[in-house]
Amino acid sequence: MAVLLIAADAQEFRGLLKYCRNVKPLGWPVHWARAAQLNGRELWMAANGAGGLRAAQVVEIAKAAGEPEIVCSVGFCGGLSRDLQAGDIFVAERVQAGGREYAVVKPESSRAHHSGVLASVDRVAQTVEEKAELRARGADAVEMEAGGVVARAAELGLPACSVRAVTDLAGESFGMDFNSMLREDGRFGTMRLIAAACRRPLSTLPELWRLGKRSHLASRNLGEFIAHCRF
């Protein structure tokens, strides 16, 4: 039985792939999917775009392909707690989504990480004010896919978890409107990003550079953590 890892974008797996062996494509109807061996175990990795609905579709596809042992929503997240810094690992103990709160499995690891409540919402949390509102509801970090994963896994009787790496902080707002750049296929439009950067280069280019640098750090730390934890 395989461990199924679900992300929004393939770049979120970049740090993990260097620990994997026998990586090969999976013929799944998603944006990106690979099978691999990790520490002697079968691993399925899939990215199908941003949002809970697209992530939930991957759970269904994997279930039809052969029941996974556990389903894990992985990738980047925003910090809501002031304790979370860029590159930190966050392991969910519960997931808030759609007005419900789901208990999830917590992978075992001796490596440094934070844990707590993960808010899963249907849009990018753009501003300090949005993040503060989610924090007031008891959440420590925020992202967009885990809610769909854990809800669908619960319906199918599969254990689920979520491991994330921080890319933006509680006290930071995005100058760019990332929600307007999200296409129907769940991907952020490159041309929309370029157009926004050209309109306000002095503010947007440093923001994109910072986000790119943090995403690289988050992917590296996430891969290292997953490669050395026990599901």
Domain ranges of the chain: 3-227
pLDDT in tens, 28-47: 999 999 999 999 999 999 99
CA dist 39 and 54 (Å) reads 28
Could you tell me the fold of the domain covering 3-227? Rossmann fold (3.40.50)
φ and ψ of 104, to 5 deg:
-130, 165
Query: What pLDDT does residue 70 have?
Result: 97
Return the bridge partners of 37, or none. Answer: 21, 42
CA dist 14 and 219 (Å) reads 6
pLDDT along the chain (231 residues), means of 10: 96 98 97 97 97 98 95 98 98 97 96 98 97 98 98 97 98 93 87 78 86 97 97 91
Query: What pLDDT does residue 202 have?
Result: 78
φ and ψ of 221, to 5 deg:
-65, -40
Query: What pLDDT does residue 201 have?
Result: 81
Cβ distance 84 to 90 under 8 Å? yes
